[in-house]
């Protein structure tokens, strides 16, 4: 049985958490707070409590609510964070995603970091949802890549799953993906595949090819998953016609949302798209204070 690159297929799963997430969030909070929020210290009385809502201002797929909740918990454990939305669910304009209650200084201190992550992850989930819907009915599966922001890979790949797309390998450690530079240094596609199988016989294995000649070599070496890098549409169609029954073929390189359906119609089984994570517009989500009104100054 051929082994191909590892894929997460069974839904979004639990949001990333644990010590690694806490380290990331504490770094982000230190970056933003520094020695303290001097605007809040200057403008608000000490001990003021308030309520707030996190709302979607434009349509999106929510993602990162548990991460936002953790931000506020790290800032001040007294802040209560009630989720009213769910990761992976669509949110209409004006929809309340979460309600907060607690010290006003803590809510304002955590607001920016929480919203940055929530907006970014919801933007990824929203794009993934739009792209997977574009492929509906084609039989072609959509995957992400390793083109993620340093330190945010777990979160960004989770957001991809929340949007309905699938994950490629997590990193260099959990699957073999032979790319053009490996091929050049190893002396060819066949030699690179042979060495990979000898060294890690149980690892998931895929190879990327640049042309039909390399594709033929990969098929002859019984590669199970073959990435067709920057193949134009006519070449993709020919590749599928010649070898589509002998290996799983994946279109990769320079994929844009507007080209997805045309690529899928060539018959490839998979498409990998770095734009799911590397150039996504943030979702429009904001935090609004509900209560109380600012206290009147004593006369």
Catalytic positions are 112, 147, 179, 208, 229
Distance CA 42, CA 274 (A): 44
CB 176 within 8 A of CB 81: no
Residue 99, SS3? Answer: strand
Strand partners, 55: 96, 286
In three-state secondary structure terms, 256 is: coil
> Do residues 240 and 268 lie in contact, with contact meaning Cβ atoms separated by under 8 Å?
yes
Dihedral sign from CA coordinates of 238, 240, 242, 248: positive
For the chain, strand residue ranges (E) read 49-56, 60-61, 80-83, 90-91, 96-103, 141-143, 176-178, 205-209, 225-229, 248-252, 270-272, 285-291
């Amino acid at each position: 049985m051929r082994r191909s690159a590892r894929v997460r297929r069974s839904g979004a799963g639990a949001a990333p958490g644990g010590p690694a997430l806490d380290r990331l969030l504490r770094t982000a909070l230190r970056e933003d707070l520094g020695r303290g929020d001097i605007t809040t210290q200057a403008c608000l009385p000490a001990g003021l409590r308030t309520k707030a809502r996190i709302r979607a201002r434009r349509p999106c797929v929510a993602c990162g609510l548990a991460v936002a909740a953790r931000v506020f918990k790290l800032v001040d454990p007294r802040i209560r964070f009630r989720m009213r939305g769910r990761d992976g669910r669509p949110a209409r304009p004006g929809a309340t995603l979460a309600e907060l209650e607690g010290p006003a200084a803590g809510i304002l201190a955590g607001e920016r970091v929480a919203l940055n992550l929530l907006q970014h992850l919801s933007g990824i989930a929203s794009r993934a949802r739009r792209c997977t819907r574009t492929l509906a009915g084609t039989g072609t599966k959509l995957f992400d890549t390793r083109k993620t922001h340093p330190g945010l890979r777990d979160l960004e790949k989770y957001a991809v799953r929340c949007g309905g797309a699938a994950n490629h390998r997590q990193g260099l450690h959990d699957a073999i993906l032979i790319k053009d530079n490996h091929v050049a240094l190893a002396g060819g596609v066949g030699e690179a595949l042979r060495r990979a199988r000898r060294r890690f016989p149980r690892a998931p294995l895929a190879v990327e090819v640049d042309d039909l000649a390399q594709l033929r070599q990969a098929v002859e070496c019984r590669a199970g998953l073959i990435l067709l890098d920057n193949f134009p549409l006519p070449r993709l169609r020919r590749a599928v016609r010649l070898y589509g029954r002998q290996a799983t073929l994946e279109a990769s390189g320079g994929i844009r949302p507007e080209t997805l359906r045309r690529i899928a119609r060539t018959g490839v089984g998979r498409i990998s798209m770095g734009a799911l994570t590397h150039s996504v517009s943030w979702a429009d989500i904001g935090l609004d204070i509900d209560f109380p009104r600012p206290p009147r100054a004593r006369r």
